[in-house]
């Protein structure tokens, strides 16, 4: 196996055993970026100088045995809406083409403390508005499984980079599925944490009540390593919470690792998690676990082959001892309309700062604008893309006098109903299992001119964000040679269970 193909766990073991150095691992990753990314376009910036400096520092620390953790010396790629001090951050937009981040996002600060190696910034839909990465101002990213297909969005660059082994893991952001959907399309693992689990400080905002940073990785266990490193309360983000904000049955180990072995009332599941690092598992590792299957996620619109793969996965979980229960989320049918009222409303507010004066490129520099209003209009019209302008206009309309109560306020009430649907379901079950997306990756250009069809690619991920729940997407097979994503949804603050179930399913699917 080539070094760039390693998982976090494999890389960490190799580094500790001195089988290779962080410099060698980083060089392997940078070389494959140089070789492959001209075809994939997963990266907007490659930070080779920074990466090599960090790799040398990590090797020194490991030589001195001063700092050992699972992420030390391991390369990461970062979505280009997350600030890295001194590195260009465009959010996939021309209006931020020359913006250099003046500080580190909190997640980057935490990763630097863990001594990771940052190899570059990844492509994305402009300001995270899109489901295919075709909305980037710097060219589309292509799916490594099929270069004629999209990688999903908006974290398409991060997902493609992991799938193409151009990095060991990556960071993305998820507002309506932007980690999970591209993870599903590219055949990698993507974790959207509970809203508030990870600080949003230093994330260029799209919709502040939905945005959440999370990992894209090659295995569920790798995603767990990253979550442990980046989660926790942050004084710069009032919505963030302490790691201790979690169910009473979930406790951290003395070394700070998250302990998933204390799931209450499920002795077989406990045994299974305790045995995950060994070569054997109990014969029924999911015994006692109740898995809910939402009827609404298997309705009209789902691709037949995708449904077959998901049904096969559900059967496998049942064979592993889980109890399968049909549940209903009746307000799912309203989630899409609700989301596309609330999100544009928050977009219109967050995007107001990009006016050619406070942030971004300005048309005043070339003398075309004659007054302040013209600077605003020309700068935004010239440097913001079509999808961004569409959402700004929609959000401004929804929030305008006479329409607030009819649209925005009503959408917030529907959001509450969606959340209550999940709460009722979790009274019966421990997790929900569903498709990540109704289809596999679609052709480049197939949906770009039809926003409604494009939005439907996130039909199964959006409700999770409306309810602020944690969810995991992991690969569960191929349909016509393209990956199918399996989504595991958990209660608030209960990443422990979805990760545990994901790891057991992954171990039994090899």
154 among known catalytic residues: yes
**pLDDT bracket for residue 446 (50, 70, 90):** very high
The pLDDT of residue 83 is above 70: yes
**Bridge pairing between strands 75-79 and 169-173:** parallel
pLDDT band at 401; cut points 50, 70, 90: confident
Whether 254 shows a pLDDT value over 70: the answer reads: no
Report pLDDT for 14. Answer: 96
The answer to whether 173 and 212 are in contact (CB under 8 A) is yes
Q: Does residue 112 register a pLDDT over 50?
A: yes
Q: Is the pLDDT score of 264 beyond 80? A: no
Q: Is 341 left (phi over 0), alpha (psi -120 to 50) or beta?
A: alpha
- pLDDT higher than 80, residue 305: yes
Question: Quick check: 262 pLDDT over 60?
Answer: no
* Pairwise CA distance, residues 131 & 123, whole Å: 13
Neighbours of 296 (CB within 10 A): 18
pLDDT recorded at residue 183: 98
Q: What is the mean pLDDT of the segment spanning 81-110?
A: 97
What CATH architecture is 1-510? Alpha-Beta Complex (3.90)
> Which tens digits make up the pLDDT trace of 369-398?
678 888 888 889 999 999 999 999 999 999
d(CA 118, CA 77): 6
Q: 283 versus 255: which is more confidently predicted?
A: 283
Spacing of C-alpha 231 from chain mean position: 14
Q: How far apart are CA 450 and CA 336, in angstroms?
A: 15
Can you tell me the mean pLDDT for 133-152? 98
User: Any idea what DSSP says for residue 405?
Assistant: I
What share of the chain in percent tops pLDDT 90? 83
User: Residue 443 above 60 pLDDT?
Assistant: yes
**What is the C-alpha to C-alpha distance for residues 260 and 128, in angstroms, rounded to an integer?**
32
Q: Which of 79, 109, 121, 496 is catalytic?
A: 79
CA terminus-to-terminus distance, the chain: 17
Output the CA–CA distances (angstroms, integers) from residue 457 to 103, 172, 450, in the order listed: 34, 18, 12
Structure tokens at 322: 């889980």
Q: Are residues 457 and 133 in contact, defined by beta-carbon separation less than 8 angstroms?
A: no
Exposed / middle / buried, residue 482 (Cβ in 10 Å: 0-12, 13-18, 19+): buried
pLDDT band at 247 (very low <50, low <70, confident <90, very high): very low
349 contact partners, CB below 8 Å, separation of at least 6: 395, 399
Q: What is the pLDDT of residue 300?
A: 83
Coil, helix or strand for 394? helix
pLDDT of residue 275: 61
Q: Return the axis-axis angle of helices 495-507 and 267-274, rounded to nearest 10°.
A: 70
Structure confidence at residue 405 (pLDDT): 93
Banded model confidence at residue 255, pLDDT cuts 50, 70, 90: very low
Q: What is the DSSP string of 281-342?
A: --SSTTTT-EEEEEGGGGSTT--HHHHHHHHHHHHHHHHTTPEEEEE--TTHHHHHHHHHHH
Share the mean pLDDT of the chain: 92
The Cβ of residue 473 has, within 10 Å, a number of other Cβ atoms equal to 34
The pLDDT, as a whole number, for residue 250 is 34
Determine the average pLDDT of the residues in 78-106. Answer: 97
pLDDT above 60: residue 260: no
As given in the structure block, the two tokens for residue 238 are 């009032």
Lowest mean pLDDT: which of 51-60, 215-224, 279-288, 373-382?
279-288
Residues 451-456, mean pLDDT to the nearest whole number: 92
pLDDT at res. 266: 46
Query: In the structure encoding, which two tokens stand for residue 196, read together?
Result: 């508030």
Q: What would the mean pLDDT of 392-408 be, rounded to a whole number?
A: 94
- Note the pLDDT tens digit of each residue in 153-168: 999 999 999 999 999 9
Does residue 406 carry a pLDDT above 90?
yes
- What is the average pLDDT across 449-457? 92
Is the model's pLDDT at 133 over the cut of 60? yes
Rounded Cα distance, 269 and 506, in Å: 14
* Of 229-243, 370-384, 493-507, minimum mean pLDDT range: 370-384
Q: Quote the pLDDT of residue 273.
A: 57
* The pLDDT of residue 352 is above 90: yes
For residue 363, name the pLDDT band (cuts at 50, 70, 90): confident
Which residue in the list 22, 93, 154, 345 is annotated as catalytic? 154
Average pLDDT over residues 61-74: 87
> What is the model's pTM?
0.93
Q: Is 366 exposed, middle or buried (0-12, 13-18, 19+ CB in 10 A)?
A: exposed
Torsion angle in degrees (nearest 10) through CA of 196, 201, 205, 210: 0
Q: What is the pLDDT of residue 377?
A: 87
The pLDDT, as a whole number, for residue 135 is: 98
Mean pLDDT confidence for 89-117: 97
Which candidate in 22, 45, 136, 178 is catalytic? 178
List the domain boundaries for the chain.
1-510
Reply yes or no on whether the pLDDT at 239 is more than 70: yes
């Amino acid at each position: 196996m080539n070094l760039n193909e390693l998982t976090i766990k494999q890389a960490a073991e190799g580094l500790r055993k001195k089988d290779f150095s962080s410099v060698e691992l980083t060089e392997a990753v940078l070389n494959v970026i140089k070789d492959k990314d001209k075809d994939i376009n997963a990266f907007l910036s490659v930070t080779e100088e920074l990466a090599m400096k960090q790799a040398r520092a990590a090797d020194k620390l490991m030589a001195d045995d001063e700092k050992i953790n699972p992420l030390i010396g391991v390369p990461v790629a970062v979505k280009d809406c997350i600030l890295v001090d001194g590195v260009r951050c465009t959010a996939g937009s021309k209006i931020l083409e020359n913006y250099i981040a003046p500080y580190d996002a909190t997640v980057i600060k935490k990763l630097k403390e863990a001594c990771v190696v940052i190899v570059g910034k990844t492509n994305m839909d402009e300001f995270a508005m899109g489901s295919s990465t075709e909305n980037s101002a710097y060219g589309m990213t292509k799916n490594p499984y099929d270069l004629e297909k999209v990688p999903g969005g908006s974290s398409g660059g991060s997902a493609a980079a992991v799938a193409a082994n151009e990095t060991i893991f990556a960071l993305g952001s998820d507002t309506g599925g932007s980690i999970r959907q591209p993870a599903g399309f590219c055949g990698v693992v993507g974790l959207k944490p509970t809203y508030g689990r990870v600080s949003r400080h230093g994330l260029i905002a799209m919709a502040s009540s939905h945005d959440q940073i999370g990992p894209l990785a090659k295995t569920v266990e790798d995603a767990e390593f990253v979550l442990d490193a980046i989660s926790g309360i942050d004084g710069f983000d009032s919505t963030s919470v302490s790691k201790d904000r979690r169910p009473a049955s979930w406790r951290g180990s003395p070394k700070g690792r998250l302990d998933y072995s204390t799931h209450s009332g499920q002795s077989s599941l406990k045994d299974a998690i305790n045995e995950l690092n060994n070569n054997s598992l109990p014969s029924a590792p999911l015994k006692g676990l109740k898995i809910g299957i939402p009827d609404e996620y298997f309705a009209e619109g789902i691709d037949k082959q995708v449904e077959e793969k998901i049904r096969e996965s559900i059967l496998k979980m049942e064979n592993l001892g889980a109890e399968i229960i049909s549940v209903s989320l009746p307000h799912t049918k309203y989630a899409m309309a609700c989301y596309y009222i609330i999100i544009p409303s928050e977009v219109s507010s967050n995007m107001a700062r990009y006016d050619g004066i406070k942030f971004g490129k300005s048309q005043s520099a070339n003398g075309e604008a004659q007054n302040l209003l013209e600077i605003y209009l020309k700068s935004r019209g010239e440097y913001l893309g079509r999808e961004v302008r569409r959402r700004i206009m929609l959000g401004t309309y929804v929030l305008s006098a006479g329409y607030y109560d009819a649209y925005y306020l009503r959408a917030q009430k529907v959001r509450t109903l969606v959340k209550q649907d999940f709460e009722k379901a979790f009274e019966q079950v421990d997790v929900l299992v569903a498709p990540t997306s109704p289809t596999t990756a679609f052709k480049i250009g197939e949906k770009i001119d039809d926003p409604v069809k494009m939005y439907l690619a996130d039909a199964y991920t959006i409700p999770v964000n409306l309810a602020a729940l944690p969810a995991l997407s992991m690969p569960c097979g191929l349909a016509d040679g393209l990956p199918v994503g399996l989504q595991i949804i958990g209660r608030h603050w209960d990443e422990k269970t979805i990760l545990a179930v994901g790891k057991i399913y992954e171990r039994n699917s090899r």
